[in-house]
Amino acid sequence: MKKTSIGGMALLEGIMMIGPHKKAVAVRKPDNEIEIKVEDLPHHNKMQKIPFVRGVVGLFSQMISGMKALMYAASFADLEGEEEPSKFDKWLENIFGDKLMTVMIYFSVVIALFFSVGLFILLPNFIISIIFKDQVVLNNLFEGVLRISIFVGYLALVSRMKDIKRVWMYHGAEHKTITTYENGEELIVENTKKYTTYHKRCGTSFMFIVLIISIIVFSFTGWHSPIINVLIRLVLIPVVAGISYEIIKITGRTDGILSKIISAPGLWLQRLTTKEPDDDMVEVAIEAFKAVIPDVEGEDKW
């Protein structure tokens, strides 16, 4: 079984796939046709080859690509009855002109980062700081447990939303398509049906590893005033992300006992973030995946 570096992201009625040289976004339009957009990726810079640094660079790069893909997919939504642009929208367009979309993408990425860091990193620390005093080991342990609880609770809550359920189904289609390819089978809908919606190199697994590594890393920093704790955690976020990326990189290459143990919690969490897709969704995933398969065999090796 080969292990591919090709990965993706579920969108609103679509999927983005990223290969070693190309990125493709496939969207199921309201008329049931599949629209696909393929772009060449820029050459990797030196930063993307340095261990521990490449994880941080890659994470930010994928957030930007993901936001662009989300906006592209949303542009195909049924816009019947759309309201006229507000005065604020017109003002923004006058200020930024053709660069408005780029500004919106980067602004959205920054907001997403602030939300994620605030909800999953800073909020647990703030709560534990109020409840417990001067118990370094217990404080860090309880903070970690609370952080994981908030993360799982958040996933469970958003999974109840109708639109998100369909995104999770596309997420499942993405995983089934990748697994079919990794098993050397022809990329057709029928072949994907035998495979699970779970995949250990998924972003959900990465996020869980980030939470676990944050507990370990932050435990070495002691326990200070709330402001100092916040500053330390903000500074160490790139360190946590870099270490987590290297771990999922290593575990993704092997199928040993240690790899299975590390991957198990992330695979369990995918019960929340993936659902069984319908055939139409798998077709979208296959179209996106085929578009990014490299011409030279082996270039997409994990």
Distance CA 25, CA 69 (A): 7
Structure tokens at 138: 């217990």
Residue range 77-99, pLDDT digits in tens: 764 445 566 666 666 667 767 67
Residue range 6-23, pLDDT digits in tens: 999 999 999 999 999 999
CA 138 centroid distance within chain: 30
Q: Does the structure show a pLDDT above 60 at 112?
A: yes
In a domain, 245, yes or no: yes
> Coil, strand, or helix at residue 274?
coil
Residue range 36-77, pLDDT digits in tens: 999 999 876 677 778 888 888 888 888 889 999 998 998 887
141 class by beta-carbon count within 10 Å (0-12 exposed, 13-18 middle, 19+ buried):
middle
Structural domain for 282, as ranges: 7-76+91-115+132-290
Distance CA 81, CA 53 (A): 46
Q: What is the pTM of this model?
A: 0.88
In a domain, 85, yes or no: no
| Strand blocks (E) in the chain | 7-11, 14-18, 22-28, 34-40
In a domain, 148, yes or no: yes
In a domain, 225, yes or no: yes
Residue 64 makes CB contacts below 8 A (sequence gap 6+) with 105, 106, 109
In a domain, 296, yes or no: no
Buried b (16+ CB within 10 A) or exposed e, 151-176: bbeebeeeeeeeebebbbbbbbbbbb
CA 50 centroid distance within chain: 21
Strand partners, 17: 8, 24
In a domain, 125, yes or no: no
| Strand blocks (E) in 202-265 | none
> Coil, strand, or helix at residue 5?
coil
